[in-house]
Amino acid sequence: MAKSRRHRGVGWGAAPRAGEGGSSGGWGEARAPVRDLNVAETVSLVSPFEVREDIPLTPAGHRTVVESREIVKRILNGSDKRLLVIAGPCSIHDDQAALEYAQRLVDLTREVVDRLYVVMRVYFEKPRTTVGWKGLINDPHLDGTFDMETGIRKARRILLAVTDMGLPTATEFLDPITPQYIADLITWAAIGARTTESQTHRQMASGLSMPVGYKNATDGNLEIAINALQSAQYAHSFLGIDENGRTAVIKTRGNRWGHVILRGGRDGPNYDPQSVAHAIEALREAKLPTRLMIDCSHANCGKKHQNQELVWNSVIQQRLEGNTSLVGIMLESNLCEGNQLLPADLSTLRYGVSVTDECMGWAKTEELLRAGHRALGGEPSI
């Protein structure tokens, strides 16, 4: 394992670096530093290539990723009529609980796979409105030590274990550096409501190897997601890193496997038939495929996990009424319902309970997937 290298930042009053102080250049007096004034420390990180070599994709995982990406593409183009279901915890903070959830989901998937194609939500990065825990990659020990190399390796091992079970994975890419470390294990990706308008994320999405969903903005603005979808279809050139961790110009081909995700906004939900019809018309006007996913959580459920069921039932009903533009649905689901704050004493954390947004529990997850499966097959839901 490569050792991290640490570099201290230079602030006011610190000794100037070479070329930044002294009397050289005819100044006649020491120059004040002008860079890294607010940087306390820079820690060099292991390269993506080294991490992938240390934690390689297995033949079983490779098969899962390749096959599942093709299935999701077929769902998006309408040749596979199943409903795509992205289900799993709001965020992963405990690898044991994550893998227990994954095994339960694998078993449940076998029952519903002819009508529902289930991909596990495995989210390691969390955008914050102000401050807070930013996810397993950023702070894997949940204690503010920000041991990101451990976080990256831990995330990759979780993804590898899940894909080895034959279960495809979904995640949100927040930091544009992250995909180099884990994207080869991801079937479907999201660009979140806070970053859909970001040029950086649109460029990144244009080079991702899997289908990508773009959420409407937190205020409910749909145009931002449509613009993101359009932008990411085109080729881009931008600064990033290569597999050896060196700064590079990344040139992409464009990613045509995109779609919009409706997640509600400040004015309320947008999963109802009228909102869905409006979104379909907006996509038509933009000359884009009319494929939509509904997020049962966030503003669509008022951040109350119990309300996700209402959204789920509405989507199933709209599908039964012939709305083929609704190709997918997202559920925030965990072993146990609700959520919890991160305690000072981590030994008091409740197992299987989200530390970010509220999630429905496993019993409700089973109930909804089985009921949706029955309904989509023309059977009574109860």
- Per-residue tens of pLDDT for the chain, all 382 residues: 444 566 555 444 444 555 544 444 555 567 889 999 999 999 999 999 999 999 999 999 999 999 999 999 999 999 999 999 999 999 999 999 999 999 999 999 999 999 999 999 999 998 876 678 999 999 999 999 999 999 999 999 999 999 999 999 999 999 999 999 999 999 999 999 999 999 999 999 999 999 999 999 999 999 999 999 999 999 999 999 999 999 999 999 999 999 999 999 999 999 999 999 999 999 999 999 999 999 999 999 999 999 999 999 999 999 999 999 999 999 999 999 999 999 999 999 999 999 999 999 999 999 999 999 999 997 764 4
Q: Is position 73 within any domain?
A: yes
Q: Verify that 154 and 226 share a domain, yes or no.
A: yes
Tell me the residue range of the domain where 126 lies.
49-376
223 shares its domain with 79: yes
If asked whether residues 36 and 70 sit together in one domain, one would say: no
382 assigned to some structural domain: no
DSSP 8: E
pTM for this entry: 0.92
Distance of CA 152 to the CA centre of its chain: 14
Residue 102, domain member (yes or no): yes
> Is residue 5 domain-shared with residue 121, that is, in the same domain?
no
Q: Based on the domain organization, do 121 and 186 belong to the same domain?
A: yes
Residue 223, domain member (yes or no): yes
- Does some domain include residue 319? yes
Please check whether residues 164 and 265 belong to one and the same domain.
Answer: yes
The answer to whether 102 and 93 are in contact (CB under 8 A) is no
Domain membership of residue 323 (yes or no) is: yes
Return the bridge partners of 365, or none: none
Angle of the 308-320 helix axis to the 362-376 helix axis, nearest 10: 10
Same domain, 19 and 53: no
Residue 381, domain member (yes or no):
no
Long-range contacts of 244-249 (CB under 8 A, 24+ apart): 244/47, 244/48, 244/49, 245/45, 245/46, 245/47, 245/48, 245/49
Contact present, 211 and 188 (Cβ < 8 Å)? yes
Query: Cα–Cα–Cα angle for 232, 235, 69, nearest 5°?
Result: 55
- CATH number (domain holding residue 106): 3.20.20.70
Q: Tell me: do 20 and 132 sit in the same domain.
A: no
User: Do 253 and 196 belong together in one domain?
Assistant: yes
Number of structural domains the chain divides into: 2
> Do both 59 and 37 map to the same domain?
no
Q: Are residues 21 and 145 in the same domain?
A: no
Give yes or no: residues 278 and 157 share one domain. yes
Question: Has residue 179 been placed in a domain?
Answer: yes
The set of residues, in sequence order, having a beta carbon less than 8 Å from that of 163 and lying 6+ positions away, is 57, 58, 60, 61, 64, 65, 169, 185
d(CA 67, CA 90): 25
